[in-house]
Amino acid sequence: MKMFLTQINGLFSRIYEKEQYSIEDGARLLAQAAIGQGKIYIKGFEEMDVVSKEAIEGAEPMMNAAPLTNIQELTDADRAIIVSRFSNNNETVQLAEKLIERNIPFIAISGSVKTDATDLTKLADVHINTSLIKPMLPSDTGERICFPTSMTALYIYHCIKLTFDEIMDEYQ
């Protein structure tokens, strides 16, 4: 557990250092929806759906947040957050392409996988890298274990929300 604590603290520190400007940009993008009477639609894929649950049903829900269930409902006043384990997840990339077709600005949170194919890092208005693309810890057998993707996505979400809330407090 001590090794895990060390690794997770290091990961969160790296995310803060490398992604703080993207987090601020993402919060500004979301604030446009809240200020302009739009909604913030959220879709998490697989285990990353925990971000949707936190934003909508958590103890401190995000202002104007709603689940992204029907892309046809979105208007140009809306913004979206999509969250995936990896930036090259096919289903997530397809959703990103549909958002682009409808001119809906969006944030993507995912582990950036190096690829020549189109992925979230190239499609999103703001991409925030979880920096987590493989398990963190070596096991006794030499394999790697402990892949806390949803924990990392929640950390990023809370960083975005803190910044978003500050922006909204200043606006009001």
- At 30-51, the pLDDT tens digits run 999 999 989 999 999 999 999 9
Rounded Cα distance, 30 and 15, in Å? 20
Give the single-character DSSP code of 119: -
- At 98-148, the pLDDT tens digits run 999 999 999 999 999 998 888 999 999 999 999 999 999 988 888 999 999
CB atoms under 10 Å from CB of 71, counted, come to: 15
What 3-state class would DSSP assign to 164?
helix
Give the single-character DSSP code of 142: S
Domains and CATH numbers, the chain: 2-171 (3.40.50.10490)
Which pLDDT does position 117 carry in this prediction?
84
- Cα Rg for the chain, rounded, in angstroms? 16
Q: How confident is the model at residue 65 (pLDDT cuts 50, 70, 90)?
A: very high
